[in-house]
Each structure stands twice: as C-alpha cells, then as structure tokens.
Homo-oligomer: A and B are copies of this chain.
Amino acid sequence: MAKKITFNPYGLTIEVPEGENLLRAALAAGVHINASCGGEGVCGKCKILVEEGEVDSLPGGLLTNEEWDLGYRQACQTKVVSDVVVRIPPESLLDRRTLTRRRTGIGLRPSPIDLASLQEEGLYNPAFKKRCVKLSPPSLTDNVNDLARLEEGLARQHGVPNLTLDFFLLRKLARVMREQDFQVTATLDFSRRRFRSPHLVNVEPGDTTGRHYAVAVDIGTTTVWVQLLDLSKGEIIGHAADYNSQMSYGDDVITRIVYSQKEQGLQKLQKSVVGTINQVMHRLLKQHKLGVEEVSHMTVAANTTMTHLFYGIDPKYIRLAPYVPTAGSIPLLRARDLGLEMPEHVFVYSVSSVSSYVGGDIVSGVLASGLYKEPRLTLFIDIGTNGEIVIGNQQWMACAACSAGPAFEGGGIRFGMRATQGAIEEVSINPETFEPMLLTIGMAKPKGICGSGLINLLAALMDSGLVHPNGKFRDDLNTPRVRLGDSGREYVVAFAEDTQGGQDLVLSEADIDNLMRAKGAMFAGYVTLLESVGLHLQDLEQVILAGAFGNFVNIDNAIAIGLLPDLPRDRYQFVGNASLLGATLLAFSREMLDEERRVAEMMTNFELSETPGYMDQYIAALFLPHTQGEYFPSVSERLQAAKG
C-alpha cells in the first residue's frame, strides 16, 4: 500500500510503497540528505527528524539516546510504516531551487517481450514444431524401412512431404518407433529456408507435443544470459545469468583477442564461454525440472568478438586495421560440435553481425526493438564496453561503433567499478556545503562508483558548480572535498573512514577527462551518423536505450553531461537486454529467424574514424555538456536553475 512522505522544510510530498527506505525515497524525490556511507548506516550523517507518522528504524551507535528520543533517525536505516512527515536537518539542507529537477529517467522500465502482439501480428510461429503420428506396424507385405513409414505418416497425417532429416535420429529411430507401438512424435524444423521442405530433427516415442523447449542465449563480454522458452505454450519460462568465465582472461574484447593469439588461447576462450553457457543452462533446466533432451532449438546473440570466440574462429583481424571479421553470418552448426551439452539434434542459430564492432547483439537488439519495421526515425543506443549506435527506420539503417571505451562500465576510472555491491549509484551534492548524499548498491559502504553512478556524480558536480564546463574543478573553494591529487584536482566522494577500502574515494580531473572522451565519442557518433545521411539530432523521433546500462541510467543526468541527446524525455525508451530479447524472438518466430540476415545486411556500417567530420564533432563534444550549448537547451536551463 502506498504511503505519503512529506519532506520539510520543502513541503514536498511523494508517494512510495510501504516499507520504502527513507534515504532512497529522498533521492527519488530529489531531496538532498548528506550521506557518505552509501546507506550502510555507519557515517551517521543522514539524520532526519520524524515529525509525524510511524517508521521502523534500527537504533544504532551513531545517534545519542537524546536524539533518538527526540525523534531523530538515520534515514538509511529507516523504513516507512505509515504516512510520515520528516524534516531535513540544517546541515543537509539544500537550496530549494535544486528541487526543480525531478528524475524523469527513473521509473522507466523496459517493456517485457510482448507475445500477445507477436501473435496478433502473425509472427508467433516457432520454426520448430512437434507433430505426433500413429503408424501401422510393418508386416511381410509392408516392410518398407522405418524412415519411409514415418515419412509417409507425416505426409498423410500432417501434410509435410519431402522431408529432409538429420542423420543422428536414425540411430534411435527403430527403437523409438517400437517403444510405444509405432506412435511417434516428430520434431520438425521449418526454418531452413535453403531446403524446400521441413527438416526432421528428432523423434520421440508416444505423444510429447506438450513438451517442447528452446534456449536463447546472450553472450556478453561480461555476462552470459540464458532464457528458457516453452515452444508449445509460447512462454518465457525463466532466465538466469552468470559472468562470462572468459573474464579471467581479460575484461574486454581487446584483451580477449590478445589472449586468443597465445598458444591454445583461442581454444581456452572457446571452452570457457561454452562452460559458462552449459552451467547456466543446466542450472535453469534443473530449476524448471526439464530434460535437456526436450530442447530443440538454440539461438545465440553476441558481439562480433564473442561470436568468433564462441565458435572458435580466430578474431585476430577484428583488432587490426582495417578491422575485418571472418564472417557476418555463421552457418548452422551442431551444438555438440562446440562442446555444448545439448542433444545431438540441436543446432546453434546465431544472429548475424554487421562488422567487427557492430555485432549480432546489436542486430538482435534491432530485431527485438522493432527498429527495422519502425516508421519513425529512431536512434538505438547500446552502451557497454563500447557504444554501438544504429540510426534509421524500416527503410534504411546506418550503424557505427563508438570507441567510447569502458568508462561507463567503470573502466579507466580510478574508483570505477562494475555495478555490484558497494558501488555508488545515486549521488547528490549540497551546493553550499558540497557534502554528498550517496546511495550504493546493496546499501553497503562505498567501494567505488559504477557507470550510472559516474554519470550521476558528474551531473551532481555540474549542478553544484564544482566542475567547470571544461571538466576542471573550481580551485577557489575552501572545502576539504576538493583538493589537489595525483591526477590534477579531485573531489572526495567519500572519506576513508566511510569506505570499504579504507582510503579516500575520489573522482579526479583525469577521470572526468575519460568520461568526457567516452561521452564525446558517443555524441559525435550520433551527430556524424545523422549528418552522413543529411539529418540532424532534432529529427530523431525516438531513442531506444538497450543493455544493462540502459536499464539503470538516469536520462536527465546522462543528457546533462552530454552523453544522450537533449530530446523530450518521452521520446526515450528502454528495451532492457535487447540482445537476449532478440534471441528469444528468433526462437518464437520463424519469420524473424528468416529475416535476421536480411536485417543485418540492411544495416550500413560506418567506420567513424573514416567518416568526414567525425573528429571535429568529437573535439567539439569534449565539454560539459558540449561546446555548442544549443544542442542542450534543457541543460542550460537546469544549470541556470541550479545556480539560482
């Protein structure tokens, strides 16, 4: 049940679910409360006074008995039980003008895959189908071979003549046909467009038409996702993920490619990722009490390097100019030939890639997001280790990879880290005291800053006037939070005593420089790609954010730092893990399986480094938010508002 929280002295009221944490609620409301320990309750700074209503709070050593009795609580240790009124103490007070900014980004959630609409559009049509036949047993006057008997039954009873078939089922055909007195369920693959007829891939005794599954896999550089699909009911049964165990050979695609060039390196990387898939897939199957032999179909989406490594194809030339992958489309391959613990009849269908740095994950995302059939001019963005962008609509698509580097995954930033326990994700800074309000993942003591946290932190530094548009800190302030460090000036996000590492957690000018290069590469990418086809940012009718990053980014802040274009917020959409979603759609829709290669071929790749104007755009974007303020009208307003 929703509860109301009123924050005084602002008089601001918001609704939250019962049990919501007060610090988190304040952040969502845009109310600053000093908080250094990320929500763990050890810094004692986030004191608030409960004026009315009931809360559930842990007494800790950081409040005196007097404070407790007066109604003070640590916001991060307090849950809302009834409607409440709380007062922010003077030391946390923020000028009211900062309240003009509400986090419109927060609250956007990806739409789950919409099977109903797939069905409406006639696209729910799995390529793999089961058909049960009842055959008459052989006799001396009718002793055709078992296969011929089955084929005749399928032709007569289901109208599927001229089958082709997979060899391996022959090894069990005689037994299977006799096990339930010549009642047999055949699994047919209708996807192989190069064949003139369906392909018989499996036979099972009796009627098993009610049990039929597929597996969709998204192989990320960092994470492997597996989704389990029910082909007979058209449902996503569940999903699971784990770190790609290739991580131990390198964090990003470049280090993996380097490793692949060592003795047996490629083989090790191949086995490694297959090991992860096997492990996640079998965990999922076990959890749902399904036998792997009930799986008929496996679809895979991955970036170009991950695709090469998964298939054991040397990725060497992906890394060397002119950046040539071995292939865009990979032919069907028996899953077992890759070491996947799958039945013999399962083949791997993988999404085609466009180029070395616009891979099958992006094509899969384009399929999942519907961009390829979208009439509106759309910008599709996937920010991960690199940033890939696609611009276009149902008639054309241009795409490019931006060498954004891993800054938004925390790479190249001194205290950058992945979005795990202890990563600072939410930040606000008091513009007068420069004290921060931090919220970490898991509300643990801060350990570092994750990608979305970096964006939020940089935006907060801009809001509070601590950082100049050129990325340098103000040097005229008398605060211990800004000081000279090893890499120029730095802002102390958390002092040693509040951190997990026991050292000051800072963001330096060098870090900001890296962030600006990353966001500048992305922004220059949008503009260059649009200009290459004679269009402008304002022409964009829709922006689709894909990937885990897209799920967590605060749109306003990402626009504030110049990472995303300054468009009306309602043009933004999340699609979540669009790569996984695309792989799932391929398993549910034969038409999309047929179409993925066409979509990949439709996407024109631009090598930005070779595209006129890109370098100028890049240089122009190395500013907060941009040297050309007219690109970011709302940011100018926001900064004006923050200045008051």
Contact = CB atoms under 8 A, between A and B. Distances in A.
A607 interface: yes
Contacts of A609: 140
Contacts of A173: 313, 326-327
Given A167-B330, A194-B164, A316 B145 contact: no
B331 A164 contact: yes
Interface string A571-587: 00000000000000000
Contact of A326 (B145, B164, B324): B145
A330 B170 contact: yes
A332 interface: yes
B167 A331 contact: yes
Nearest to A150: B327
Contacts of A317: 146, 174
A171 B175 CA distance: 37
A261 to B, nearest CB: 12
Contacts of A141: 610
A175 B355 contact: no
A311 interface: yes
Q: Which of A312, A327, A332 has the most CB of B within 10 A?
A: A327
B355 A143 contact: yes
A313 B138 contact: no
Nearest to A141: B610
A196 interface: yes
Nearest to A601: B148
Nearest to A353: B145
B140 A321 contact: yes
Contacts of A144: 324
A577 to B, nearest CB: 25
B326 A146 contact: yes
Interface in A140-161: 140-148
Contact of A607 (B143, B164, B324, B333): B143
A166 interface: yes
Contact of A324 (B143, B175, B333): B143
A174 B322 contact: no
Nearest to A328: B145
A253 to B, nearest CB: 16
Contacts of A311: 167, 170-171
Contacts of A640: none
Nearest to A338: B167
Nearest to A317: B174
A27 to B, nearest CB: 46
Contacts of A355: 143, 145
15 contacts: A138-B324, A140-B609, A143-B322, A143-B323, A143-B355, A147-B329, A148-B327, A165-B331, A167-B337, A170-B311, A170-B313, A170-B326, A173-B326, A174-B324, A194-B194
Interface of A: 138-148, 164-167, 170-171, 173-175, 194-196, 311-314, 316-317, 321-333, 337, 355-356, 607, 609-610
Given A167-B333, A174-B326, 14 more contacts: A138-B322, A140-B321, A145-B327, A146-B327, A147-B328, A166-B331, A167-B332, A170-B327, A171-B313, A171-B314, A173-B313, A173-B326, A173-B327, A195-B195
